[in-house]
A and B are shown apart, each in its own frame.
Chain A
Amino acid sequence: MSRALKSLVALSLVVVAASYISWRRAQVTISAIQSKRAHAHGSELRPAADEIVKAEVQAASPSKPSPVSQRKSFLDEPALMATLRRLESKDASISLRLAREGNARFPDGADAAERAWIVVKSLDTLRRFHEGRDEAELMVSRYPGTSWALDVERHTLIYPLDQPSREEMQAADPVAH
């Protein structure tokens, strides 16, 4: 075998091996995320969420650049919003991540206020109320007067957090009840 042929075979082996490793890592990542989601929700992945997870993994696969700013560029703003609206509250953790990434990429986009609303609502759904309140205060100052900010304001900034439950209030004052 000539030296050139040997080099070609060796290079081919390297490419095949690299492709296999890349494919295996992507499969492992998909399985891990699906397992995590299914465990968290106690049920199978919903189609929309499943689709998003796969898209995320595809974007994050080793065959593509890994920095966040580059690997998330596979959706333009309208497509991102369509995805977020389709997700609604079906998977708050994914909505939170996509909405945050969207506002990092399109901070002055037409739908930035809506994405900020999704961030706060997702945090509430995940029961991260204090974090949600911090985000809400930022959002209300950043997008004042928008319907999104007004909606967030009344649902997260009016009622005090960590009050005793109704049951605890009744137990504390049984005579009144």
Chain B
Amino acid sequence: MSGNGGTADGGARPTGGAGGAGPGGTDGGIGTGGVGGAIGGDAGTSAGCNVSPVNPNATKQAKNLLCYIYSQYGNHVLSGQQETSWSNPDGDIGWYSDNGMKAPAILGGDYLYPNGTSARAIAYWNAGGITMIRYHMGAPPSSDTYENAKGSANIDNVVRDGTTENISFRSKLDYAAGELKKLQDANVAVIWAPFHEVQPNGWFWWAKGSGAQFVSLWKYMFDYFTETKGLNNVIWLLPFSGSPNSTYYPGSKFLDLSGPDTYDTNQPFTALFGSAKSVIGTTMPIPLHETGLIPSPSAMFPGAAPWVLFNIWAGYQSDGTHNDVENIKKVYADAHTVTRDEVPGLK
């Protein structure tokens, strides 16, 4: 492969084996070689793959998942769909079959909604898919509501042991860890995307402080989940907003994946891919963890914006406003697009 550069923060993530393809170099060009798009068989297992999750105790399933994601970077894009957790969570995936399409490779969930999120994630994995979960956590010490996620918190106190905010934060982490543990006990790996849309002056409480405060928040959760809670089934995704910012980047020792989101319409969002790469580096696969408009693989590849996955936001696929059904069908039929039935065994 070409352009196997280090990460923006100086780290170097080994690639090769199953993960032998990827966008390389500073020119955004696509590397060649590696699996080159093999789907199925052993392509998704960690055998022969020297990519390792940041958690040294990662489960076999987590290693397989990360290796598989690396193997697809630069040559394929994993399809994804966020569920409408608050009203009809099964409706979004059902919409694809109702319209004659295969199921997305990835189901997106939200732990703001406790009822059934983990159960649906486990079921999706057992059906051959991948799950990606975020969490609209309310600003400590307030409860978890969408409105409270847009509140404000004293982040210094949130990470200072014993404060009211910290006790609340730990309670929320305990809840989320308990849900992720359900997945681990079921041998399910998960792409965990907490504190999403981080940027200076963002909408959510975790994005209303400084970069240093956010990094302390991220590391606190990372340490608590990996060391205290023994969660080893997690692939850590740092989900930027449409303005990736290096001061909010904890570094590659604390995450496995990172990427932005956008609701703009200038797909495939080439400039955004470039700005993300300038922060995240040229080696780590870059996901489009949320999008309003589905990007077209024919425009993404080979080098314009080779997102490793896209995740259409809840309801945006079917509301008749943000996407055209025929265009989604076209994208799902594209040879670059991975659907659930094409995900190899990761168990």
Contact = CB atoms under 8 A, between A and B. Distances in A.
A108 interface: no
Nearest to B314: A158
B147 A177 contact: no
Contacts of A127: 147, 151
Interface of A: 88-89, 121, 124-125, 127, 129, 145, 147, 150-151, 153-155, 158-161, 163-170, 173, 176-177
Given A89-B208, A173-B115, A177-B114, A155 B150 contact: yes
Contacts of A168: 143
B11 interface: no
A154 B152 contact: no
Interface of B is mostly: loop
Nearest to A149: B263
B138 interface: yes
A125 B149 CA distance: 11
B147 A150 contact: no
B210 to A, nearest CB: 12
B236 to A, nearest CB: 22
A153 B315 CA distance: 13
A166 B145 contact: yes
A169 B115 contact: yes
A176 to B, nearest CB: 6
A169 B146 contact: no
B266 to A, nearest CB: 9
Interface residues of B, number: 30
A161 B145 CA distance: 9
26 contacts: A88-B200, A121-B203, A125-B150, A145-B265, A147-B264, A150-B265, A151-B263, A155-B203, A158-B313, A158-B315, A159-B146, A160-B86, A163-B145, A163-B146, A165-B138, A165-B143, A165-B144, A165-B148, A166-B111, A166-B112, A166-B114, A168-B143, A169-B113, A169-B115, A176-B116, A177-B114
Nearest to B152: A125
A16 B198 CA distance: 56
B203 A170 contact: no
B138 A159 contact: no
A97 to B, nearest CB: 18
B214 to A, nearest CB: 15
Which of A125, A145, A166, A176 has its CB near the most chain B CB atoms (within 10 A)? A166
B211 to A, nearest CB: 14
Contacts of A161: 146-147
A154 B145 contact: no
Most buried by B among A88, A89, A164, A173: A89
B292 interface: yes
Interface in B166-218: 175, 200-201, 203, 208
Interface string B123-165: 0000000000000001000011111101110000000000000
- Please indicate which of the listed interface residues A164, A165, A170 has the most CB atoms of chain B within 10 Å of its own CB: A165
B244 to A, nearest CB: 16
Contacts of A151: 263
What are the nearest 9 A-B pairs in CB distance? A166-B144, A165-B143, A159-B146, A88-B201, A150-B263, A165-B145, A155-B203, A167-B143, A170-B114
A154 B203 CA distance: 11
B114 A154 contact: no
Contacts of A155: 150, 203
Contact of A150 (B144, B150, B264): B264
A173 B314 CA distance: 24
Nearest to B150: A124
Nearest to A172: B115
Contact of B292 (A150, A169, A170): A150
